[in-house]
């Protein structure tokens, strides 16, 4: 793939490179930019000389799914292709959580620390706009996904991070030491997201075009959750839990249910044979998790439950309750 693959500037910084090549991959292209010079004007201020292969890990906009799949997942997957791939880090939100319902600092500190320990060479860790004031020479810059536009502007292709089961498999393998069998953990889990809707209501985010399809009135979430509780499910809220605990709890569950959303990324840690219920309360947010989950695991059952016709609590409860058909 020649250097003129991209006809317009695609980087968010003053950047030059000799050529860009693509590496064959199952579903998503991997790009390698050769001899990248970022912000050469700042070379006398702060400069990083980076020979070999490097990949940037970000905070994913402080959103769990984007961070887990695009940043952490992209890196550990590309490690299987570029054996000497080294990480460098950029937290655009400077360690501050963007959304109160998704506290990310502890997760990022743990995972980035583990990757640095396992694969790091020189520690290059930047916060906020620091990258704008430093110069870089990167011999080989590896890019798989950058949907949060950290390095690239909108001219760079956007890829659906859910449609890459090979990345989910790489993540499950990399964190396999935390997939610990524990008979004391619940087997049937309902992943609550009430705090998400409540926080969006309190902050006014539910009026935002991006978030409004992810907000549900309390009676909707109450009815769905109660139906699963009455079917023997334990309620789990992932928010604020260490990544190690999320992996362990998900791994031990035989049934995983919840309203569609980023919580389903924890299906990455599930075992073969798990049964999933994905509740989709409206027709505006119908994310296709099935593709990723079914293709990254074996012998799973994935069922979308669409209560679009339900107009009140009782109707919602009755419909959801009747849709749960896994009595043992």
Contact 32, 55 (CB under 8 A): no
Residue carrying the six token digits 């793939």: 1
Mark whether 158 and 304 lie in a shared domain: no
Work out the percent of the chain whose per-residue pLDDT is above 90. 50
Tens digits of residue pLDDT in 151-207: 777 777 766 555 688 899 999 999 999 999 999 999 999 999 888 888 888 888 788
Q: What is the pLDDT of residues 263-273, one digit of tens each?
A: 999 999 999 99
What's the pLDDT tens digit per position in 176-190?
Answer: 999 999 999 999 999
With tokens 């990254």, the residue in question is 296
- Residues 107 and 219 occupy one common structural domain: no
Distance (Å, whole) CA 85 – CA 78: 8
- Whole-model pTM above 0.85? yes
Claim to verify: residue 295 and residue 244 sit in the same structural domain: yes
State the pLDDT confidence band at 13, using cuts at 50, 70 and 90: confident
* Most confident region among 26-40, 43-57, 145-159 by mean pLDDT: 43-57
Asked whether residue 264 falls in the same domain as residue 234, the answer is yes
Question: Does some domain include residue 328?
Answer: no
My answer on whether 275 and 161 are in the same domain is no
Decide if 161 is inside a domain.
yes
Domain count, the chain: 2
How does residue 2 score in pLDDT terms, banded at 50, 70 and 90?
very low
**Same domain for 158 and 18:** yes
β-pairing, 135-143 vs 30-38, is antiparallel
Q: Are residues 36 and 122 in the same domain?
A: yes
pLDDT: is 314 or 91 the higher one? 314
Does 140 lie in the same domain as 66? yes
CB burial of 136-154 (b: ≥16 within 10 Å; e: otherwise) equals bebebbbbbbbbbebbbee
126 within domain boundaries: yes
Same domain, 85 and 192: no
Verify that 139 and 218 share a domain, yes or no: no
Is 123 within a domain?
A: yes
278: pLDDT strictly greater than 90: yes
Domain containing 242 equals: 184-323
pLDDT at 248 over 70: yes
- What would the mean pLDDT of 275-298 be, rounded to a whole number? 85
Higher pLDDT, residue 20 or 322: 322
Same domain? 166 vs 18: yes
pLDDT for the residue 253: 97
Residue 296 maps to which CATH number? 3.40.50.360
207 located within any domain? yes
Contact 57, 64 (CB under 8 A): no
**pLDDT over 60 at 328, yes or no:** no
Does one domain contain both 216 and 314? yes
């Amino acid at each position: 793939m020649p250097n003129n693959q991209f006809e317009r500037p695609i980087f968010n910084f003053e950047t030059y490179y000799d050529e860009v090549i693509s590496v064959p991959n199952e579903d998503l292209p991997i790009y390698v930019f050769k001899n990248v010079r970022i912000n050469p004007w700042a070379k006398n201020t702060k400069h990083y000389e980076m020979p070999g292969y490097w990949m940037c890990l970000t905070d994913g906009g402080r959103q769990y799914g984007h961070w887990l799949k695009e940043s952490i997942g992209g890196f550990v997957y590309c490690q299987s292709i570029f054996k000497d791939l080294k990480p460098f880090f950029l937290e655009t939100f400077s360690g501050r959580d963007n959304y109160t319902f998704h506290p990310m600092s502890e997760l990022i500190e743990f995972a980035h620390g583990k990757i640095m320990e396992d694969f790091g060479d020189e520690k290059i860790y930047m916060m906020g706009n620091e990258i704008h004031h430093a110069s870089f020479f990167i011999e080989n810059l590896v890019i798989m996904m950058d949907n949060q536009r950290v390095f690239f502007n909108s001219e760079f292709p956007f890829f659906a991070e859910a449609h890459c089961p090979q990345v989910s498999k790489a993540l499950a393998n990399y964190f396999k030491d935390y997939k610990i069998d524990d008979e004391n953990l619940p087997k049937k889990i309902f992943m609550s997201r009430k705090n998400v809707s409540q926080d969006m209501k309190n902050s006014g985010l539910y009026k935002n075009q991006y978030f409004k399809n992810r907000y549900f009135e309390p009676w909707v979430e109450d009815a769905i959750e109660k139906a699963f509780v009455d079917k023997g499910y334990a309620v789990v809220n992932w928010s604020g839990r260490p990544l190690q605990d999320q992996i362990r709890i998900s791994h031990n569950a035989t049934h995983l249910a919840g309203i569609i959303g980023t919580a389903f990324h924890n299906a990455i840690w599930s075992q073969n044979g798990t049964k999933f219920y994905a509740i989709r309360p409206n027709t505006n947010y119908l994310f296709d998790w099935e593709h990723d989950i079914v293709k990254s695991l074996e012998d799973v059952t994935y069922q979308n439950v669409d209560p679009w016709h339900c107009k009140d609590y009782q109707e919602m409860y009755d419909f959801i309750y009747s849709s749960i058909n896994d009595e043992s």
